[in-house]
Amino acid sequence: MFSSSKFNETKIGFIGLGAIGKPMAKNLHIAGFILKVYNRTIDINDLEPMNISQACSSPIEVASDIDVLAICLPDEKAVEEVIFGDKGAINSLAERNIIVDFSTISPDSAKSFSSRCKQYNIDYIDAPVTGGTEGAINGSLSILLGGNYLAVEKIRPILSILGNNIHFFGESGSGQKVKAVNQVLVAGAYASLAEAIVLAQSLELPMEQVISSLSKGAGSSWALKNRSISMINDYYPLGFKLSLHNKDLDIALKVANRLGLDLAITKQIKLKEEELISLGYGDHDLSVLRKSFD
């Protein structure tokens, strides 16, 4: 497998067709890869009209007769279930297959999954992504990799369809460690943007002009450029769920706590997120943090 001249003949299984996973799978399909898909919360009959190649009814089915299994799921419990459960992919994957896991989970879980997969002579690569739905749709995600370097290199042409900022960080779990750092940065960027929006609106400033003038200055950020208008308009189209980011902050804080670090700002933002989740905003985009400053 992985012939450079016929790489798009590589057979890929894709599990997890959410806001990020679905456009990733579509981009692989458009690029010409042979694709099988499965989603835990979508009936197989509803998958068929998506036109993402072959729809399957279980992880064990999607993992049969493939070369690479891609996973994009909300948490480590879901990842463990689809790989190692009763109908898990591990029961039909072949030796020397590769699992590339785009989910955000704890570094320890990634290391554990990698170790368990090695018992089957299968490489597990942790590959959390960042860039939101925009990055998934445009194929411009940042992909943070940990695991076997040779396995990573084998699937690099697949990764290049999904992202344009691809980095390998070392042993299993390393990609997840970097993703934890990323989510702390994201927390600060969104929270400070929400506060800035509140201040500017209270000063009765022309908001769009304010955003335009600041987007090229020292205070610029991805959040400012991509989420400020939704905060201004009190409209939060889904890019990344608040509840999932809160789960990611829990991972980051546990990692920090183990190192004896007190991430005070991150803790406060996590509490604000939890307040909003308790009010029913968990499935809204993370930019809904703006409501915590009303």
- Write down the pLDDT at residue 3: 46
What is the DSSP track for 85-102? STT-GGGTPPTT-EEEE-
- The CATH code of the domain that includes 13 is 3.40.50.720
Question: Does one domain contain both 197 and 153?
Answer: no
Q: Which of 125, 141, 171 is the last residue of a domain?
A: 171
Q: What is the average pLDDT across 127-133?
A: 95
Query: Helices 76-84 and 107-118 meet at what angle, rounded to 10?
Result: 10
Question: Does one domain contain both 43 and 164?
Answer: yes
The amino acid at 71: I
Question: Does one domain contain both 79 and 187?
Answer: no
Question: Does one domain contain both 225 and 280?
Answer: yes
Q: Taking the mean position of all CA atoms in its chain, how far away is CA 66? A: 23
Q: Which residue has the higher pLDDT, 125 or 2?
A: 125
Please list the active-site residues: 179
CB 152 within 8 A of CB 124: no
- The CATH code of the domain that includes 225 is 1.10.1040.10
CB 70 within 8 A of CB 22: no
Q: Range of 259's domain?
A: 177-293
Question: 171, exposed or middle or buried, with CB in 10 Å at 0-12, 13-18, 19+?
Answer: middle
Question: Does one domain contain both 15 and 138?
Answer: yes
Number of domains in the chain: 2
Gap between the Cα atoms of 250 and 256, Å rounded: 10
DSSP 35: E
Residue 44 in this model has a pLDDT that exceeds 90: no
Which has the minimum average pLDDT: 234-238, 255-259, 269-273? 234-238
